[in-house]
Amino acid sequence: MKTFQVPEFYRSPIISAVKQYRKVQDPRKKDNSPTILDFGPVQFFVARHFGFCYGVENAIEIAFKAIDENPGKRIFLLSQMIHNPAVNKDLNEHGVQFLQDTHGEQLISFDVLTPDDVVIIPAFGAPLNILDILDKKGIQTEKYNTTCPFVERVWKKSEQIGGTNHTIIIHGKYNHEETRATFSRSAKHSKVIVVKDIEDSKRLAAYLEGNKTQEDFEKEFSGKFSDGFNIKTDLQKVGVINQTTMLAGETEEISNYFKTVMESKYGKENLDKHFADTHDTLCYATNENQDATYGLLNTEADLAIVIGGYNSSNTSHLVELCERKFPTYFISSEKEIESKTKINHFDYPNKKHLSTSDFLPDKQPLKIIITSGASCPDSIVDAVMLKINSFFEGVSAVDAVLKKLSTTHD
């Protein structure tokens, strides 16, 4: 796989050594057990896969290349390149300005743009209408387009099933940048609707089965379907694609659910005419990170810490998985850990910040699960571990710990 030129301050001595160890120990990536970093009073169980993925490293390389190649020019990002505050802050400090927020609301008017300006397209991609606006202003976006190739793969799948007149069901968050970009392209080829989860899917199936009205549909799915969507004609043939950062198990469940519904309505012998079997369109990194998190669930630990941007979809799903077994704290960086007795963290479902006292159990060795989202620099993971270590006496030196790397399967 390609090696990217990512700024050195995103790398880390500890995690780089861990990843290199696992690459040698498990080159075929078949072992999802965590790596153990035993510092004595604290043991960290580090996920097999986490942190920067191909798409994120590609985006960061292109963004910093744009900065280096365009001294004196105004450089804009359409929106957050990735969902990590540290990375976006770094870009800001290098003079990059954001045109929109993560919900597509304008921060800087497109009216100020000139053909001499540089506009970077984020890893999530961009809706076609936005690209059209930039093109009409004479701005060339191709050179610094950081759209993840795995997102583009989903777009190709939507074109494929749209070409056979299947309505495209997107499993995703309708206001997420990636979903908005995928929606705009899918709508070129067919009718489109977005479902967030299996509950949304069951509500949509009520219309597919003819149990509810067009008026009900337009109220219930307002803002989540393409223009001119008709429940009587546009739900006869369907196929499921997804936002690449959703839970793989949920996408599979939703796809199998609609397959069952269509089979029930049209008969098994006619299923191929009414359901497009699209398989999984999640990216490899999302799959690996989620599988590695399932590997963490086989560990006996006292708590879990998940690190990433609070608006990061893929990170939120890692939190969701860890919460099935451990007290779990979702933090953006080591700065959220105020002391041995206080941590500030994020409640993703309710979108609110929390503060918890006595989050570290009074025991030794303390066993902590640790992982991060695909847009989180490894250097932040290092910083979180070192911050926790600072609360204890008799902690082993990093070099000594790295010489004794092991996994739960060793």
Q: Where in the sequence numbering do the catalytic residues fall?
A: 178
Do 404 and 351 form a contact (C-beta atoms < 8 A)?
A: no
Place of tokens 């879990």: 304
Separation CA 156–CA 239 (nearest Å): 13
- b/e sequence 334-344, b meaning 16+ C-beta within 10 Å: bebbeeeeebe
Q: Which amino acid is at 226?
A: S
Torsion, Cα 245 248 250 256, to 10 degrees, reads 130
Fill in the DSSP letter of residue 391: T
Distance CA 316, CA 306 (A): 9
Q: What are phi and psi of 195, to 5 degrees?
A: -120, 140
Is residue 256 left, alpha or beta, with left meaning phi > 0 and alpha meaning psi from -120 to 50?
Answer: alpha
Q: Nearest Cα to 48, choosing from 275, 404, 288, 239? A: 288
R_g over Cα of the chain: 23
H-helix or E-strand spanning residue 372: strand 366-372
Burial of 107 (0-12, 13-18, 19+ CB in 10 A): exposed
Distance CA(292)–CA(310), nearest Å, equals 20
Q: Is 281 within 8 Å of 153 (Cβ atoms)?
A: yes
The label of the residue with tokens 């793989």 reads: 248
Distance CA 271, CA 338 (A): 57
Question: Identity (one letter) of the amino acid at 135?
Answer: D
| Terminal Cα-to-Cα distance of the chain (whole angstroms) | 27
AA identity, residue 309? G
